[in-house]
Structure 1
Amino acid sequence: MAPSKKKHDAGDACIIPGGFAVLSLQFSAESGTQHKLYVKEHRVRVETKTHRPLDRTLFVLNIPPYCSQTVVNQIFSRFGPVLSVELSDRPGSPPVPEIKLSNIFKPAEKQVSGFKVAYIVFQKAKSIKLAKSHPHNVPLLVSTEKRPVSTGLQKWAQQYRNTIILPEKLQETVDAFMCDYDLRKEEKAKEQEKEAEEQKEDEEGWVKVTRGNKGTKARPHSEAANQKALQKEIRKKKRKELMNFYTWQHRNTQKEHIADLRKKFEEDKQRISLLRAQRKFRPY
């Protein structure tokens, strides 16, 4: 991106084609070189329902590799409170939220190499205007005395020390997780037992339907009842599997059915004759 031909005063913001404002970034006060960031208000219609509000999200290009999420948060906090910072190797849709786990059990995060892009969400919309109107000749410092940023061997050594987990800390995390898991498992078992008791069938196959509070509809189809009905359907399908597949199978099935009906008919005739004989009047 080439800067615009418009001349800028010493205290003016530098706007280039595309609507990007140029910000100068300097690693420390002693450093003699500066790095350029390109910022712009994030406005994408397809992301109206994401965690990137259109009126409070700043899109930043050319983030150097030594700037982490914490460092970017600290740099742009001078323009207002920052709610979140998202770093990526290229612009795109927001990542799918992952399951929250303890830092001990989280897999190693993929290190984004090279220059990155950032989505910075501020608490107030006016922070966007302050960032875009920041003078281009006033650099933003990355490392200061209050918040030093380590690089090179110091950074790698710190990252290695952070990966070392004490056995006591690991045991505490595992115990807390297992206690929470046992509680959730017991609660789920109690709920299933309660639903199974409410949806229990009697001897004739009727299901007792209970009504909740006044004004609420009865809910006979619980998870236990649905599971039971599903198992019944599966057994029914297995019994019918490959039955009457061929024409001769269907014909034989009909013949067997007719033979069973005739046999039952003869048995019923004999039973009726026996009942009539028992009811015959015999005075002596």
Structure 2
Amino acid sequence: MILSMTGYASSQRELSHGVLSVELRAVNHRFLDLSLRLPEEFRALEGAIREKLSGRLNRGKLECRVAFNAREGAASQLRLNNALVAELLRLADQVKEHQPGAGDLRMGEILRWPGVIESDALPAEVLHATAMQLLDEALDEFVAARGREGEKLGAILLARADEMSSVLAQIAPRLPQIIDEYENKLKQRLQEALGSADDERVRQELVLFAQKVDVQEEVDRLHTHLAELRRIVQQGGHAGKRLDFLMQELNREANTFGSKSVSTDTTKVAMTLKVLIEQMREQIQNIE
């Protein structure tokens, strides 16, 4: 399926001291633009998060927010590692036996020693691993949500394409008659202006006119582009840029069709085609 560039998803988990959450939200953008909102304790994950997001997303302005909301009254409890302190002091006494002039260990030095102060807070590696798991969960839901939205956008595009095909099918049988009627009017005016019914110049002007107002080539190209649009939508994947280019081609053919119009009927058809193309273009701006 085709994917929308807009979407939202979040995932969270209850931990011993609070709630860890990951939130993803995105809007349309020409390229992939990642914006990360990370607390300082999760800053080390920035590279891994960017790599994971860019591996699954192609376009869109995406904001990824990681947050840890501490539970009220759940402050981490600090404890002294008595066994380690005793071991440090024992080793300090041994050093003084060999070096009587060595000074005593100061309290600040003991407290700064790795492992002396223990906390019941989750280790950083556990928090980081949990955050990456939540990112995977949120990203799965995010992609699924963009797929559901993309499916709706694809249905809109196919419906507009069917409307365009219907409009062309209705006007196609009448094109020869419209051109014949206008040729007769033009022939009469030329004959009146030139004063001759058999003048070679009248014939040349009519031949030139017929070439200028023939829109069969534009109609054929419009049908071809509409068939390609249906193929792209049904194929799915990263289709936004291809569809956007196709809108330019459809619009060019519709403009040419309108410039060759010789009746109010064909002018109305050209305007209808341009309105439908613009409606499709607006939807395509949201497709990845």
TM-score bracket, normalised by the shorter chain, equals under 0.3
Q: TM-score, normalised by structure 1?
A: 0.20
Q: TM-score, normalised by structure 2?
A: 0.20
